[in-house]
Amino acid sequence: MEGKTKEQFVHSVFESIAPKYDLMNDILSFRRHKAWREFTMRKMNVQPGSSGIDVCCGTCDWTISLAEASGNGPMVGLDFSQNMLDVGADKIERINRDRQIKLIRGNAMELPFADHTFDYATIGFALRNVPDLVQVIKEMQRVVKPGGLVVSLELSKPTWQPFKSLYYFYFQRVLPMLGKLIAKSYEQYKWLPESLVNFPDHKQLADIFRSTGLIDVKAYPLTGGIAALHIGVKPGELPKGD
Reported confidence tier of residue 3, pLDDT bands at 50, 70, 90: very low
Q: What is the dihedral of CA 45, 51, 55, 60, to 10 degrees?
A: 80
Reduced to 3 states (helix: H, G, I; strand: E, B; else coil), residue 189 is: helix
The mean pLDDT value for 115-136 works out to 95
High-pLDDT (> 90) share of the chain, %: 60
User: What three-state secondary structure class fits 184?
Assistant: coil
pLDDT tens, residue by residue, 4-21: 566 776 677 666 656 666
The residues pairing with 121 across neighbouring beta strands, listed in sequence order, are: 53, 150
Quote the pLDDT of residue 153: 97
pLDDT digits (tens, 9 = 90+) for 75-84: 999 999 999 9
Neighbour-count burial for 100-138, b at 16+ CB within 10 Å, e otherwise: bbebeebbbbebebeebbbbbbbbbbbbbbbbebeebbb
Nearest 5°: the CA angle 177, 182, 185 is 65
Residue 196: helix, strand or coil by DSSP?
helix
Residue 28 in this model has a pLDDT that exceeds 50: yes
* 1, pLDDT greater than 50: no
Q: At what angle do helices 61-70 and 33-44 cross, to 10 degrees?
A: 30
**Taking the CB of residue 139, how many other CB atoms lie within 10 A of it?**
22
Return the closest-CA partner of residue 63 out of 101, 117, 105: 101
Of 159, 153, 109, 101, residue with least CA distance to 131: 109
Give the model confidence (pLDDT) of 176-217 as tens digits: 666 666 656 545 555 666 666 778 989 999 999 999 999 999
